[in-house]
Chains A and B, each alone.
Chain A
């Protein structure tokens, strides 16, 4: 007969010995050796003593298990790990600086140290904005680790396609939506035609949402070879697929799609001269089935849409004037906003710096205090098309002119790091001016006063020579109005500008911007939220400097 097991004792103790008496004579296992010590005359004590024997035997007798399933280890990664010092620097900063530092590390060929990987993967799983940056430093170890957690796999899936080893073709057949997209992106990077053919082969079996998402993967390495496939996608049942196809076709300069767009746009604008003063006259368009197929919509936006989808070159050819001249022309009726909104969209799509420059200089043609419509791309979006030098120069001149509205601050903040000396100087000067003004008197009283002092943006020569005639009803201002200069200064702009400065001011070179910003933060009467933004910016610069030292 085998002795009592622990489970038997538990069963008795659960209901209680008064309900279920238990005679204990023998115990199971090693504990039985001492079962003779148990006093059968006292049931409760006997149960507790027997339990103590069994529990102690089990605790002391714990044995490891054997024969575990083995799983593959991470591949060796030849890329060096970031130093421990650099890794420590990565734990402090907010997402923007973290992304910058990680991008820098990836650029220098480093990967994240293994102990930091869970922290980075967690950060990227929480904040989509970090996914690309984190994916760039994962290395073989990070990708292996991410494979153990579903929420991390999304991060690892975003690894830049060039870095990915050729994916497993089975993923295309059986993988999830994200996995299939990144598989296609990887293939597209290596062999654009093969990727397109793979997509075309199973096209009719994909759901509408999958078709749109997968089609967007063709944006990489787009070429005229893709035209036929994209043209066919314009007839898709799903609107988002048609829209994606139109976007991609618009990026193929010689395509039939662009030729159709140019053909529709050309008749809309002509130049008329009154007393030798040229102006643009627009005729309102109609729309046919082919236009609808190309993604145009009936309604008030149609005019702007047609201008926006046409290649900009068509205007220079058709109207016989340069971009600078055309953008400075007045427009008959009140159509100037619609014409220039279309051109702005086209300049951004084509990344056409000459047009962008001229359109920025021409500015906002609408009523001074009116808000631009949603179709009107903001100055900073347009400025992003400029060559870096010109962009920085323009941003610096905005600050020097005292412009601190939302668009101006966004333009400055958008300039890539490191900011060249003149822009860096203008930023520090603008911050110093704001802090000094705030220190002189109550900060709240100062900000509106500065807004009233704003000076219009520099107007290019072409615009100055052009007549000041306006399509705007009512009294025309003395100077061509530039919307961005008329917008009020953005409250709290110094804190916003400081945040950008922390990420973009140069860390190498003779000037110590960290010290300059820290000094501003320490100024008497510096408003507390500005001071903390300035201190954070100074810290960010110090962190970037220290990090750069670690990876060089």
Chain B
């Protein structure tokens, strides 16, 4: 093993953004085109980003800090170039090159010297720091740990302040009446931006998503209050984070927006199986275009979710985002620590994706709603749950349902996906994979014989 820093996830990187517009701008730059001379060595990542001027900007990030430097004139910190560089890196788009270029080395040395100076100054009880002596400069791991602890404390403080502010905001909404305060489109934009500042990216995301609710037609106040209530529940839970059971505390932290590092996930025990790809759902309208890939172990029959982000709108070189329905992959999966265990990353692959057969033993709706209720007990904020069912599409009073073999039925969601599902079924039972939510089932894949048909 080399001591390469465990790669961050896209969410980790986006959590560093000072505001939403930086996220968007960085996402736009996170493509190969503007970048040249990118590289990484140990904790250092660098690259040249073509800008509007003649000289490309020199972007550098030190992952231990994290600390950043860019030659662009932006006053945002980190700037969009650094964020974009890290997004590219997080997706495996930056190679380990070993030797940093001069501008990166110079910056690192200057930082090291300054840190050594500060350390010396502290030791010497406040006298002027000595000039940086080249070669001496190495931050001890002791110092690193201390710095990390300081940063995490700072962050916790910022998040707590943000959460308190959100709670006040929510109370103001119901005091003043949601019909007035929510009458304008985008009424959540300001508080969402505030949550970004407070490094509570998860809250910001939820707030942004709900900004469209007042434009969704009849009954929107009920839908909006439902979102407010669940956010309020989250702020309540955060208030007493220390008193919560471990699992729920992890859920709350992750929903608030504390990132979970990829290395942290990979440190959980691996679950080895032949993972069948049940379905793929693209979310192109999300703030960062995302893709959900649902898996199910052929032997252990456990579900898993791979979540990939494509800041530039394309999933490019990310092999985990390229898995197609109907294939299966022999691999180790690691579940995220937050329960219920569903989101996962791929660890070691034991082969290439190969064409698989139809998943066996699809369930019925009674089992699905039972599993959903059990999952909500672990994470009351869950929005969707995987489903693998045997059933028949059926129309009743102008509405389409999926009826299982016992005759129980749930509404089918989505428009275009209905017709291929109906074509393959022909009014007979079929195996369907999809996403379940309280609104109904969004079908993603149907099996025509042994062949997976994406819907």
Contacts and interface: CB of A to CB of B under 8 A. Distances in A.
B171 A44 contact: yes
Contacts of B428: 73-74
Interface string B443-455: 0000010010100
Name the residue among B175, B377, B396 with the largest chain A CB count within 10 angstroms. Answer: B175
B236 A59 contact: no
Given A60-B372, A64-B409, A17 B438 contact: no
Contacts of B232: 45, 48-49, 51-52
Contacts of A72: 427
Contacts of B427: 71-74, 144
A57 to B, nearest CB: 10
Given A13-B225, A66-B407, A66-B409, A56 B380 contact: yes
Given A10-B222, A71-B427, A141-B426, A49 B409 contact: no
B60 to A, nearest CB: 45
Contacts of B448: 113-115
B230 A13 contact: no
B41 interface: no
Contact of A16 (B175, B396, B420, B451): B175
B176 interface: yes
B230 A145 contact: no
B394 A55 contact: no
B63 interface: no
Given A19-B177, A59-B438, A70-B394, A141 B423 contact: yes
A71 B396 CA distance: 9
B233 interface: yes
B423 A71 contact: no
A19 B403 CA distance: 46
A145 B226 contact: no
Name the residue among A7, A59, A67, A73 with the largest chain B CB count within 10 angstroms. Answer: A59
Contact of B408 (A19, A48, A66, A141): A66
B423 A16 contact: no
Given A49-B232, A62-B372, A68 B403 contact: yes
Contacts of A58: 438
B178 A14 contact: yes
B408 A64 contact: yes
Interface string A1-42: 000001101101111111100000000000000000000000
Given A48-B229, A52-B232, A115-B448, A64 B365 contact: yes
Given A45-B171, A113-B448, A65 B422 contact: no
A17 B174 contact: yes
B424 interface: yes
Interface residues of B, number: 52
A49 B233 contact: yes
A67 B401 CA distance: 12
A68 B401 contact: yes
B394 A71 contact: yes
A16 B426 contact: no
A144 B174 CA distance: 51
Contacts of A45: 171, 232
Interface size class of chain A, counting residues whose CB lies under 8 Å from the partner chain: 35 or more
Contact of B426 (A7, A54, A65, A144): A144
Contacts of B229: 48-49, 51-52, 54-55
A148 interface: yes
A445 interface: no
A54 to B, nearest CB: 8
Given A44-B171, A141-B426, A56 B376 contact: yes
A6 B377 CA distance: 20
B166 to A, nearest CB: 11
Name the residue among A52, A113, A116, A145 with the largest chain B CB count within 10 angstroms. Answer: A52
A455 interface: no
A508 interface: no
Contact of A145 (B176, B178, B376, B422): B422
Given A49-B236, A65-B401, A68-B394, A10 B221 contact: yes
B248 to A, nearest CB: 13
Name the residue among B177, B228, B372, B451 with the largest chain A CB count within 10 angstroms. Answer: B177
A68 B409 CA distance: 8
B115 interface: no
A7 B221 CA distance: 10
13 contacts: A13-B178, A44-B170, A44-B171, A48-B174, A56-B230, A60-B377, A64-B404, A73-B426, A84-B451, A114-B424, A114-B426, A114-B448, A115-B424
Given A16-B179, A44-B175, A118-B423, 6 more contacts: A15-B177, A44-B174, A49-B233, A64-B409, A65-B410, A68-B407
Interface of A: 6-7, 9-10, 12-19, 43-45, 47-49, 51-52, 54-56, 58-74, 84, 113-118, 141-142, 144-145, 148-149
Which 8 pairs of residues, A with B, have the shortest CB-CB distance? A16-B177, A73-B427, A51-B229, A74-B426, A44-B171, A64-B408, A48-B232, A118-B419
